[in-house]
Structure 1
Amino acid sequence: MTGKSGLRGWLAGRLPTLSAEVAALIALLLAAVAASPLWALAPALVAVGLLGYTWRNALRGGSVPSGSTVVTRLLLLACAYLLGVVHSGQDVALALGVGGAALAILAEPAVSATSRSVYPVSANLRGSGLRPNLRPNTSRAVLVNGVAVVVALGCAFLGAPGVVALVVSAAALALLAFTGWQAVTRVQARHASETRLNAALAAYEPAFLLHWEAPAGTAYQVAMWLPYLERLGKKYFVLVRSEANFNEVVRLTTAPVVLRTGLTQLDDVIVPSLRAAFYVNTATRNNHLVRYTNLTHIQLNHGDSDKVPSHNPVFRMYDKNFVAGQAAVDRFAANGVRMPAEMFSIVGRPQVENVAIATTPIASITAPRVLYAPTWAGFYADSNYSSLHVGYDIIKALVARGCSIVFRPHPYTMRSAALLQESERIKTLLAEDRRANGRPHVFGPEAETKMSVVDCFNASDAMVSDVSSVVADYLFSEKPFAMVAVSTPGDRFTDAFPLARASYVIDAHSGRVANLDLVLDDLLGSDPLAATRHDLKKYYLGDIPAEGYAQHFLDEAGRYL
């Protein structure tokens, strides 16, 4: 993000609040000099309207930061006091109501700060609190405080009895006090859980832990490994580093989940029974745990592909890197990352154990079903391999050939407005074709949440993707697939991404597909790469028998427990 666009974003977020403060200040000045409240009415209404716009998310049931728009609300209360008490001489009840509302608003930051200190410590762990400590709902109190401001203004402008404002402000103060009491007691409960945490974990006697930190909405990284860690038959817990991750993992497992955000807090969870720590990504905070040299640190990663992140030098900091096949080992060497052979263990990809292997040539299928599984844009420009910008043209060509489509975009697609727009275009196309021609396309929640990746594999006869870990996993099926060359010209794509030797390459490096018809002829017809896929399968996914495929991982992981 550039400095100019960052400033624009900041202004866009602050403009309603700043405008409300200006309008409230104008209302206050007019109230100070005008004998008639009508002069101050218009700017006051503008301020209240902008206040509601700023809080629109909270009004829909969302959250609003405590202590926000404090200046606006205090100015409006001062305006109400001047008009209602100074100019109009209303009873003392209005003055008390204004004072009570102001006191509630001024107390918000303290209650908010206390509330932020409430966070879960553990779940599913006997002896340390089986349920997470929920943060008090400060948004509710903030909204009631806002109502108190509006009521005080209404009493001042309309000449209504001040006791109404007094009652509402008293209710606002009572709710804020109750919220503060909740926050204090829950902070105390959190401290008590933290005090018991080490003893509770020691009594539980876990053999290993799974460490995870990632942006919210990335739970697939741990979800793919939890079933296999369960099958190890050893006690373990999941260590997460953010509250968002905690809430996601608690929904995925009955194993203990522990939240430790800070570096020094990790001492609480390193108990004598621990033998190993597993990781599923290369998050920066993994460094916090790797320093415990009494553990064996094992990187599992969350997929195998030829992407730049898959040969990141940071993998050298782990004692062992569990990789799917020899291709992963060679990938590091090919990219100048020197790692001793003993740092690797080839364990296959246990997640593909239930992927069905092709039994029928693609050419014999009259109306094949094609899975389109594009990746996302990546965090950095050099790892942007997404084909979604040309996905519409590819899907349109497949539909024209009588194919039905399973469309499963990457979960991070929504992080890019441009990619999300292209994804919606494809869904619209599929919906229209399904209505017009009755083809059984699968997309939306059905493909993205109700079906697993393996379900999508098994529901398809061929696949189109790009540089993504789903390509290596799909190789297990031995079904034909195409990869879209985005970051590299098609004629050099295989050199940059060796897995493409088993793929039909769609050249979209120029921003438009150039050889789509020829690729689809091979993909859906003669399929000349069938033998190549069979050979590369062992190279990328391990020379492991399909029968009991996942057991190879379980045996290797068990050696360190």
Structure 2
Amino acid sequence: MLRQSAADGPATPGWLTVPRLLALTALTAAWVAQRPDDALVWLVAGVLLVATAVEPVLRRLLPVPAAVQLPGWTPPTVAVARFVVPAALVALLVVLVAAAGALTPWVFGVAAVVQGVPLLLATAQALRAYAARPAAAAALGRAVAQVAPEFVLYTARRGGAYQLQMWLPHLEALGRPFLVVTRDPAALAPLAEVTTAPVVACPTWRDLDRVVVPSLRAAFYVNSVAANADFVTYRQLTHVYLGHGESDKALSHHPAHAMYDLVFVAGQAAVERYARHGVQVPADKFVVVGNPQSAAVEPVDTVAGSSDGRPAGAVLYAPTWQGYNDDSSYSSLGHGVQVVRALLELPGPVVFRPHPFSRTRATERGHVAAVEELLAADARATGRAHVYGVDEPFAASANRVVAMVGDLSSVVTEFLASGKPLALVTDGEPDFATRNPVARAAYLVAPDLAELPAVLARMLGDDPLREERVAVRRHYVGAEGDQAFARAVLSLLDAPRGADSRSRHSR
């Protein structure tokens, strides 16, 4: 089934259908009340309401096979469809003016023509495209077969491009042909911005059949959403859970991970995390691959100080997003202004790096904006070169700074590669460090942030946790180096067909 959201935009039939129907009903009711005996009024009102209501049906008739950057395949198009919603909005405006008594009935009928004609033309084209869908799907399958992909990077989340970006450079460096498969056609354009590999949208199971070509050996998953189960049913493939970062968050030990053939983990800490939370995953499913994302983080042994003994370099504030619910919320972003005010008491600039999801959710956008306004004001007043609103890899942000303040998330593990001090804002519970062993490497700050200035002075001063960070990093990402991931993937792709996927790897 095709999913809809406001992100599809008015070029997609069925955009915001319910709000438009409600508005149209209210306006036509007001207009009909003025002329209850006018047959034209009732006719036009019915046409407009029916035309709006059938847009979702038209949406389902539109061509399903979709891909970008796929050589040898030309997608079917329904060019008129992009005018359906704009025409309906113009018709709604006419109804608004008519309901105010500014237009005569015959002008109101123009609204039905404006909305109805593009809809009829688009429906005719969509029906022809629907009839040709089997042929288009077959053509898509042939184009995929010509690419001869060896693996699929799979995502069922429209807004998950940043999660793929964590792994794309390391997969592309292998030099093996692969596909990115999404379940949502609206994700094609965002994904095409982060990779040059073919990106194929497969909203239905039948579409998934087209990408499972003979050359395909494996599928990799960067998150654990429910629609992953659709592709895991293709048992001729080896299914590997990658995740999108090594952390002690609850989503890093989800029971659904047991459905994959292999679970690539950064280090022994991840293996222990599943067991500690009672999640049963057979030991032979785990493959330790290190944390290739941290390879670009530059390690340092010391932090250069200012003339008064305090560090003069920048400090990174990297809060995570607020999660789906209370159980998955680890974010300090709601107190971000207070955190940054404390950082501004230091002599150096601040680097602000919120989670990508925080820029897509209304409440969190407000918190982000408040922090950025504070930094902008300080930059004008002091001339300090704060960094915010910059789209760059995490390693680039980590390499700019001498220390970090953040929340429980995967960036903590990546930052450990730097050897620099870091502070974590906790949930306030006394067993936080027990539940989240990575906290042993960090200076802990209660959520009221009262201790933050003292913590900053401590971690940027004597830094007594320096040696502990080394030990924790070794436990979390092992000592495999940045080539362990490449070796694991190539071993999987080059194994004889029919071999047990769990026996293809040495740990």
With the length of structure 1 as denominator, give the TM-score of the two structures: 0.77
In 2, the alpha carbon distance for the partners of 1:115 and 1:308 equals 37
Q: Deviations over 1:424-476 (max 9, x none)?
A: 33222212211111111112x22xx2x22121111111100111100000011
In the alignment, which of 384, 394, 402 is matched to residue 329 of structure 2?
384
Matches within 5 A, 1:112-123: 112-118=56-62, 119-123=64-68
In 2, the alpha carbon distance for the partners of 1:536 and 1:101 equals 68
1:324 to 2:278 alignment: no
Change in 2 beyond 3 A, CA 1:362/1:316 = farther
Contact 2:336–2:371 (CA<8 Å) still a contact in 1? yes
Matched to 1:525, the amino acid is G
1:143 to 2:89 alignment: yes
Further displaced range: 132-141 or 423-432? 132-141
Query: Which residue of structure 2 aligns with residue 71 of structure 1?
Result: 25
Contact 2:32–2:41 (CA<8 Å) still a contact in 1? no
Query: Which residue of structure 2 aligns with residue 270 of structure 1?
Result: 212
Query: Which residue of structure 2 aligns with residue 40 of structure 1?
Result: none
Change in 2 beyond 3 A, CA 1:380/1:80 = closer
Query: Which residue of structure 1 aligns with residue 409 of structure 2?
Result: 468
1:540 to 2:497 alignment: no
Change in 2 beyond 3 A, CA 1:496/1:165 = closer
1:359 Cα deviation after fit: 4.5
1:129 Cα deviation after fit: 2.4
Which consecutive residues of structure 2, in runs of 5 or more, have no partner in the other structure? Answer: 1-8, 494-507
Matched to 1:397, the amino acid is A
Q: Deviations over 1:61-92 (max 9, x none)?
A: x9542871453454455456558xx6xxxxxx
Query: Which residue of structure 1 aligns with residue 303 of structure 2?
Result: 361
Change in 2 beyond 3 A, CA 1:100/1:269 = same
1:116 Cα deviation after fit: 3.7
1:479 to 2:406 alignment: no
Further displaced range: 480-489 or 495-504? 480-489
1:507 to 2:419 alignment: no
Matches within 5 A, 1:113-262: 113-118=57-62, 119-129=64-74, 136-149=82-95, 169-188=112-131, 190-214=133-157, 216-262=158-204
Contact 2:267–2:475 (CA<8 Å) still a contact in 1? yes
SS of aligned partner of 1:322: strand
Query: Which residue of structure 1 aligns with residue 3 of structure 2?
Result: none
Q: Deviations over 1:15-40 (max 9, x none)?
A: xxxxxxxxxxxxxxxxxxxxxxxxxx
Contact 1:238–1:255 (CA<8 Å) still a contact in 2? yes
1:197 Cα deviation after fit: 2.7
Contact 1:464–1:482 (CA<8 Å) still a contact in 2? yes
Change in 2 beyond 3 A, CA 1:457/1:133 = farther
Matched to 1:358, the amino acid is V
SS of aligned partner of 1:539: helix
1:418 Cα deviation after fit: 5.0
Contact 1:494–1:501 (CA<8 Å) still a contact in 2? yes
Matches within 5 A, 1:446-465: 446=390, 449=391, 451-465=392-406
1:326 Cα deviation after fit: 1.6
Contact 1:363–1:526 (CA<8 Å) still a contact in 2? no
Query: Which residue of structure 1 aligns with residue 237 of structure 2?
Result: 295
Change in 2 beyond 3 A, CA 1:316/1:459 = same
In the alignment, which of 54, 57, 75 is matched to residue 110 of structure 1?
54
SS of aligned partner of 1:517: helix
1:408 to 2:357 alignment: no
Contact 1:385–1:487 (CA<8 Å) still a contact in 2? no
Q: Deviations over 1:530-559 (max 9, x none)?
A: 2222233222222034xxx2x221111011
In 2, the alpha carbon distance for the partners of 1:132 and 1:220 equals 29
SS of aligned partner of 1:136: helix
SS of aligned partner of 1:339: coil
1:552 to 2:496 alignment: no
SS of aligned partner of 1:560: helix
Query: Which residue of structure 1 aligns with residue 6 of structure 2?
Result: none
Query: Which residue of structure 1 aligns with residue 454 of structure 2?
Result: 518
Matched to 1:125, the amino acid is L
Contact 2:21–2:49 (CA<8 Å) still a contact in 1? no
Let me know the Cα RMSD of the aligned residues: 3.1
Matched to 1:195, the amino acid is A
Contact 1:297–1:320 (CA<8 Å) still a contact in 2? yes
1:283 to 2:225 alignment: yes
1:180 Cα deviation after fit: 3.0
1:477 Cα deviation after fit: 0.9
Contact 1:205–1:273 (CA<8 Å) still a contact in 2? yes
Change in 2 beyond 3 A, CA 1:104/1:498 = closer
Matched to 1:543, the amino acid is A
Query: Which residue of structure 2 aligns with residue 370 of structure 1?
Result: 315
Query: Which residue of structure 2 aligns with residue 313 of structure 1?
Result: 255
Query: Which residue of structure 1 aligns with residue 435 of structure 2?
Result: 496
Change in 2 beyond 3 A, CA 1:146/1:395 = closer
Matched to 2:487, the amino acid is D
Query: Which residue of structure 2 aligns with residue 528 of structure 1?
Result: 464
SS of aligned partner of 1:424: helix
SS of aligned partner of 1:534: helix
1:319 Cα deviation after fit: 1.3
1:251 Cα deviation after fit: 2.6
In 2, the alpha carbon distance for the partners of 1:471 and 1:170 equals 59
Contact 2:269–2:476 (CA<8 Å) still a contact in 1? yes
Change in 2 beyond 3 A, CA 1:138/1:325 = same
With the length of structure 2 as denominator, give the TM-score of the two structures: 0.84
In 1, the alpha carbon distance for the partners of 2:132 and 2:123 equals 14
In 2, the alpha carbon distance for the partners of 1:212 and 1:75 equals 45
